[in-house]
Amino acid sequence: MLWFPLSLVAAFSLATADALTKKYFGKQSPYEMGLIRLTYTLPWLVIALFIIPWPQLDRIFFLCLACGLPLEALAFYCYMSAIKRSPLSLTLPFLAFTPIFIILTGWLILGETMTSTGIAGIVLIVIGSYFLNFSHIKSGIFSPFKAIFKEPGSRLMLLVSFIYSLTSTIGKKAILHSSPSFFGVSYFILFTLLMLSFLPVIPNARKKALVQKPIPGLILGATMALMIFSHMLAISMVQAAYMISIKRTSLIFGVLYGAWLFKEEKITERLTGAIIMILGVLLIGWFG
């Protein structure tokens, strides 16, 4: 059962990284926020690359990288934009929609059957998203849903969830043709280098932004590295669906960080919504 506490560590460290990114680098552009986050994680990953075993790689692995990295870049930019523009308690919970998109794409594209528990999980996630904006009900019964699309961070995180449903499938394929540890480390190293390659051509992107706050940057990098390593270890011990379901408790940690660090409002309803969404994710991951 070591995978369970490791998954919780991954969840907590991911939420912590999001909170640190918003608190210390939230005034930067979304691209600079993401680049700072990745750059300070890079040294840890390079060290790990010389420690972990290297599997034999084939054409499928490199094809997965070629397909996944551009999508990852788009999702990461939208992710940073979301946590910059909107409260954490109204953005991070929408990552719970990723398993919904995975189920729906599997049903539409592959003809996979949706189970009753999977459908129940989808319903719970939708209900939870309703409760995130429950106070809007005074303007009409559908107003909590309408509020989702009025909040820019919520809209962006829904897009991120959809893209992650694609990259998670691609990543699973790459892991089957390498190993969890090697894929996790090499993927993030290449992703960081890809994002750095955009630096000369992104308008108004400043190189000095990378070194303006080195201490928070180092803490952020260590937190991200902890998330990646705990994620890799946990997912190598158990089925991916189980691990990801527990890791999605990061949504609850994110809402609590929003209340603690940023004094965000209406935390009770948002925490209620996040918990309901987590229950939906658990249904899909464990029984769907």
263 Cβ partners below 8 Å, 6+ apart?
A: none
Least confident of 56-60, 79-83, 217-221, 242-246: 242-246
- Nearest in space to 22 (alpha carbons), one of 187, 147, 153: 153
Side chain identity, residue 112: E
Highest mean pLDDT pick, 185-199, 204-218, 240-254: 185-199
CA-to-CA dists, residue 47 to 15, 51, 216, 223, 253, angstroms: 24, 7, 20, 15, 29
d(CA 5, CA 193): 31
Taking residues 56-82, report their average pLDDT: 96
Res 11: pLDDT = 95
Residue 127 has pLDDT above 80, yes or no: yes
Confidence of residue 288 (pLDDT cuts 50, 70, 90): low
Average pLDDT for 103-113: 70
Looking at the predicted structure, is the pLDDT value of residue 30 above 80? yes
Residues 117-123, mean pLDDT to the nearest whole number: 88
Mean pLDDT score of the chain: 91
Tokens 């490791």 found at? 6
List, for residues 159-205, the tens digit of each pLDDT value.
999 999 888 888 888 988 999 889 999 999 999 999 999 888 887 77
Q: What is the DSSP letter of 112?
A: P
Q: Is the pLDDT of residue 110 over 70?
A: no
Q: Does the pLDDT at position 108 exceed 80?
A: no
112 has pLDDT over 80: no
Average of pLDDT values for 17-45?
95
Q: Of residues 209 and 82, which shows the higher confidence score? A: 82
The percentage of the chain sitting over the pLDDT mark of 70, rounded to a whole number, equals 98
Average pLDDT over residues 100-118: 76
Q: Measure Cα distances from 187 to 17, 153, 181, 208, 244 in Å.
A: 19, 26, 10, 26, 18
Q: Which band of pLDDT confidence, cut at 50, 70 and 90, is reported for residue 271?
A: very high
Q: Is the pLDDT of residue 15 over 70?
A: yes
Domain boundaries, the chain: 3-287
**Least confident span in 29-43, 95-109, 125-139, 212-226:** 95-109
Least reliable range by pLDDT among 4-18, 96-110, 239-253, 259-273: 96-110
Residue 109, pLDDT > 70, answer no
Q: Between helices 143-150 and 116-132, what is the axis angle to 10°?
A: 80
Q: Are 64 and 171 in contact (CB under 8 A)?
A: yes
Residue 50 confidence (pLDDT) above 80: yes
Q: Where are the alpha helices (DSSP H) in the chain?
A: 3-25, 30-39, 42-49, 59-85, 98-109, 116-132, 143-150, 152-176, 180-197, 214-235, 240-247, 250-262, 267-282
Burial class (CB in 10 A: 0-12, 13-18, 19+), 118: buried
Average pLDDT estimate for 72-80: 96
